[in-house]
Structure 1
């Protein structure tokens, strides 16, 4: 048997984000000779310009709220201290944390025996993978099996003055805190950015096309978060589109809306969605993409080309870091693991997801509109709870809780749970397990409530 060339691998992974790293490490643990190629920083969107630094900003903003509230709880703390956030101190500290995570990723890959190469990968006409490295040189590789997990990138604005607008990635490069900011977009990125900017005392403008934010979520979340943001002082510009951004002499930006209104801010951040990161020469290997430029895959992550697979944000669907990780591991289990994994695939039903808004919100299962469409209104029973948590009994300014439980059929199987309120992310994780297991309303009712908590309301709904 001829020796395998040094440039040939059992498994070649294009993209060093969450899904690619997880899949490459799992493959290597089974003895597969594995190479992972990353064009930017290891860890992908989540580690570098997504979940991790975003959540750190959320913590800072949340802490500012607690400082403002401490006096009403009897502490001799000047609420004005909440306005003294030191961005110039905090940003380098946040960036250093991300860099430490980059190092941890690199060490974990090495520990598992995965080779890591930095550079931009693309398919040649002969089906091999060319890597343009940062030193200007190129390498070529072949592999028995190839995974494309390149993720996504922010959608860029095309309006006049787009050069004066930051995308969501660019936000993390800001060295100073803007005193005034306009955020464009009603999705989870825009809502999270608006929440922590407002919490850190930046004058915050949120520009949305519709009447509510988070329109992919249940209407209870849409209305609760929208109303609370307006009430708490975020300047929400509803049914508005940006038509032009002009940089003024003092460096500030004028944002013109199609409503005829103009806003003057220091920074404009565009958060209207993300699209797949392609430019990979897929046409050379026959990998099909759909009308949204997402790679087409089946339920086993197979593309239209045999032995080429894809997962994560580049295929669309459920675009969440833990989903990409789970899909990547299961793919490698199936490809390189023992026989018991030969049919393993990722389940995309009942995936919990949260928005780190202020307060947090989260969902699992169907929204009310989706449930009505699937089962019909008469086959559903819906339970709601709205209240102010005990924590706010001591405070002048309140934060809402809204819980909705959607059940279906005579046995009231839980098909949707939608939460708004403090600690919703932590609460949803546990209830997500129950719903994934097929819990009914009776199962929820049979669990003894933990008192006094907000979450107890979920098991005492009437």
Structure 2
């Protein structure tokens, strides 16, 4: 059978674009791609990139305050101009979208700026009714924010909406306790909105290391966010231009805006997947094997739509590996077991890779090395903020199983830690590295004595000093 394309990609985000560009540009495949919104997907248009720029903006005022601790008496005067910043942000996103589009064009990919859905195992149907055939189809449509199922939920914003606001709300409620909620609460508070964070749990960032969760929770309060744990909204009602929120405990308050950061779900509804025989999971995710192949042999999926590790660099690696495997005769899998990540709160970020202390305790024995200190830069300026670094080490093999950093530029540090950990480095390997002084990162190679051992009975002998 003669197909219109060797590959058709549904979704113009990071994973889909990488797969299309490599398949066409490096391996000469005939590739088509459909995108219903803007090229670049969640990360470029309404996620990682604009969020990080907004984090920078939200930190500028605090940096000005810190500078006064270094003698700059007139620094930081004035106020934040949302309109000016937002216009510049839009221009930057336009530039990045253009770069994505140019990359596809230069690789010879034919782009269709409209929604596409599956018609069958080898056919996609575009919104205009056109049907196109392909030997292989790749689904890379990502995920979308979800609103909780409560009365008045439509009155709440989702994270995508922050990047399109005409003005910042005076008082805002952020609902959720994951990394998106923490980052967006940080941004809004830093830009001048009085921010309340409501989370149903007892500490933010469920699934992260418990010790680090406590530090992030406390920092949110320190920067002025009103953190309300074990709290959940029950309904939203319009009250003039504002929103009245009724909470599960029976109380209610009025906010200028409510933003839901209560999770994301694969964007698979209406794609024709089930009709084509593609198996979906409980959350609507496309179930794939280690090669990103679905239950239908001609249909593959990468990125958040598979709900494996929902991070942009993972989607990019999955898309590239798919193209190498299917079109480059270079079979390549993605190892999802050891992936670094960061939560961009301020002034300290949380970055992590590998197992948490709680996970280590379940598989132990493991030695826990912890360093807690006040960083030189902020200490001199008068801050009491503490940085914390933790290494989790297999007590039997000496292999470093986990690393957690809470401090300035933690995301930058964890990237470097990911290299030796991916190579199976031991604590002795870390100890052998000579420190760069004075830096924050030197603490990672100067911790000699474990703070505690987990995963063993109390009657066992205590951990020996390194």
Pairwise TM-score range, normalised by the shorter structure: over 0.9
| In structure 2, C-alpha distance between the alignment counterparts of 1:385 and 1:56, rounded to whole Å | 30
- Within a 5 Å distance, the mapping from 1:75-114 to structure 2 comes to 75-81=72-78, 84-114=79-109
Give the corresponding residue for 1:337. Answer: 328
CA–CA distance in structure 1, aligned partners of residues 250 and 229 of structure 2: 13
Distance 2:120 2:338 in 1: 40
CA distance in 2, matches of 1:217, 1:363: 8
* 1:129 counterpart residue number: 124
Extract unaligned runs of 5+ from structure 1.
none
On the 8 A contact 1:126/1:284 being kept in 2, the answer is no
Report the alpha carbon displacement of residue 78 of structure 1 after superposing the two structures with TM.
5.0
Contact residue 183 and residue 269 of structure 1 kept, 8 A: yes
SS in 1 for 2:164: coil
Decide which of 235, 240, 254 is 2:244's aligned counterpart.
254
Which of 396-405 and 433-442 deviates more?
396-405
Aligned position for 1:230:
221
How many angstroms apart in 1 are the aligned matches of 2:75 and 2:21? 50
| Paired position in structure 1 for 2:131 | 140
Q: What SS does the corresponding residue of 1:282 show, helix, strand or coil?
A: coil
Cα 1:166–1:406 change in 2 (3 A) is same
* Distance in 2, Cα, partners of 1:57 & 1:263: 27
Which one of 344, 347, 350 corresponds to residue 335 of structure 2? 347
Q: Distance in 2 between matches of 1:418 and 1:261?
A: 37
**Pairing of 1:307-322 with structure 2 (within 5 A):** 307-322=298-313
Choose which of 333, 357, 361 in structure 2 pairs with 1:368: 357
2:148 matched to 1:157? Answer: yes
What secondary structure, in the 3-state scheme, does the structure 2 residue paired with 1:253 have?
strand
Number of the residue aligned with 1:119: 114
> In the alignment, is the contact (CA less than 8 A) between 2:68 and 2:75 conserved in 1?
yes
Correspondence for 1:424: 410
Distance in 2 separating the partners of 1:9 and 1:414: 46
- SS of equivalent to 1:73: coil
State the match for 1:32 in structure 2: 29
Please list the CA deviations of residues 106-140 of structure 1 after superposition, one character each: whole Å capped at 9, or x if unmatched. 111011111111111112257521010xxxx3211
Conserved? CA contact 2:349–2:411, under 8 Å: yes
Q: Distance in 2 between matches of 1:325 and 1:220?
A: 31
Structure 1 Cα separation of the partners of residues 190 and 147 of structure 2? 27
Question: Which of the numbers 205, 208, 213 marks the counterpart of 2:204?
Answer: 213
- Contact 2:9–2:20 at 8 Å: present in 1 too? yes
Give the count of matched residue pairs.
445
The Cα of 1:154 is off from its aligned counterpart by 0.7
Question: TM-score, length-normalised on structure 1?
Answer: 0.94
Match of 1:396 among 366, 369, 382: 382
RMSD over aligned CA atoms reads: 1.4
Q: Structure 2 unaligned segments of length 5 or more: list them.
A: 450-466
CA contact (8 A) 1:70 1:77 kept: no
Q: Secondary structure at the match of 2:352?
A: strand
Distance change >3 Å, CA 126–CA 74, structure 1 → 2? closer
Q: TM-score, normalised by structure 2?
A: 0.93
How many Å separate the matches in 2 of 1:217 and 1:253? 32
Corresponding residue to 1:184 among 155, 161, 175 = 175
Candidates 55, 58, 64, aligned match of 1:58: 55
SS of 2:393's equivalent in the other structure is strand
CA distance in 2, matches of 1:353, 1:400: 21
